[in-house]
Amino acid sequence: MRAARLWLLLFTLVTLFAVAGCGMPGTSGDTGNDVPPPTPTFAPPPTATISVPMRDASFTTQDGVHLGGTVYGSGTTGVVLSPQINGLQSQWTGFARVLAAHGYLALTFDFRGRGASDGRFNTATEDTDLRAAVRYLRSQGAKRIILMGASLGGAVSLRVAATEPVVAVATLSAIAGYPSQPVTSDIIKAIKAPKLFINSEGDPAAADTQHMYDVASEPKAIHLYPGNAHGVMLFSDRNSPDLTERLLTFLATYAPA
């Protein structure tokens, strides 16, 4: 009986992580910079139940690595959603459905070495992965591209936005200090598209967020929530409704569907 109870507890914990769509901390490639909040909420946001058209995505990077993802909705304004270092594309499922319900063509995907994607995980190649995702979404009919990412995915989104013709970029807890691909002040200054920087006040990357905003050119906006939620975990606490509305308003202002 005792063994059965322990097994049930383990199964419940694993199921909660799967439902949340968040990767467990400490997995391969975790540098320690991507710090989850100490008391995460595992319940998925209610928006995850929105019914929208969706289909599997498959595309190849310039260096020949197969990546997998999911396309939500339809339209000519596309949003590429990049996950954080210790997570998978499912981190963005709820918000991708929201975007599709508002007329956007949304793409979630796994960086190489994660989830549905082949290859070996490497923070130095994630720009290449995101550029492949952008090309794929354009091939699916997107005329305008928006980049959105959490933590490491936010850093990658900013680096790519500095050279890709995107119409807007938004980040949740973007981290500037990855040695393999740092986000320098020059990179931020090179981004001409409108920028939205989101974080929580107690997040270790909050100083990065403030500095990115300070050096960025207009148009730009910043918002820091109370607490210490990191990246997509901002969707799992009391700030979720405001965050969803804030992101949608930003997109409607600079990149309407």
* pLDDT tens, position by position, 137-155: 999 999 999 999 999 999 9
pTM comes to 0.81
Q: Which stretch of 1-15, 170-184, 195-209 has the lowest confidence by average pLDDT? A: 1-15
Rounded Cα gap, residues 167 and 187, in angstroms: 16
Three-state DSSP at 68 gives strand
Residue 26 has pLDDT above 60, yes or no: no
Name the residue among 246, 179, 186 with its Cα closest to residue 212: 186
**To the nearest whole number, what is the mean pLDDT of the chain?**
83
Helices (H), the chain: 2-20, 93-101, 126-139, 152-161, 185-190, 206-215, 240-254
Residue 18 has pLDDT above 90, yes or no: no
Highest mean pLDDT among 7-11, 14-18, 148-152: 148-152
Buried residues in 210-221 as b, exposed as e (16+ CB within 10 A) = eebbeebeeebb
Q: What is the pLDDT of residue 114?
A: 87
Rounded Cα gap, residues 110 and 58, in angstroms: 11
Q: What is the pLDDT of residue 47?
A: 54
Residue range 103-118: mean pLDDT, rounded: 93
CB of 205 closer than 8 Å to CB of 231:
no
Q: Which stretch of 83-92, 94-103, 246-255 has the lowest confidence by average pLDDT? A: 83-92
Percent of the chain residues topping a pLDDT of 90:
69
Residue 125 has pLDDT above 60, yes or no: yes
Residue range 46-66: mean pLDDT, rounded: 86
With bands split at pLDDT 50, 70 and 90, how would you rate the model's confidence at 48? low
Tell the residue number behind the tokens 């807007």, with chain if given: 168
Q: Which stretch of 15-19, 106-110, 150-154 has the lowest confidence by average pLDDT? A: 15-19
Q: What is the pLDDT of residue 22?
A: 36
Residue 15 has pLDDT above 60, yes or no: no
pLDDT in tens, 206-239: 999 999 999 999 999 999 999 999 999 999 878 9
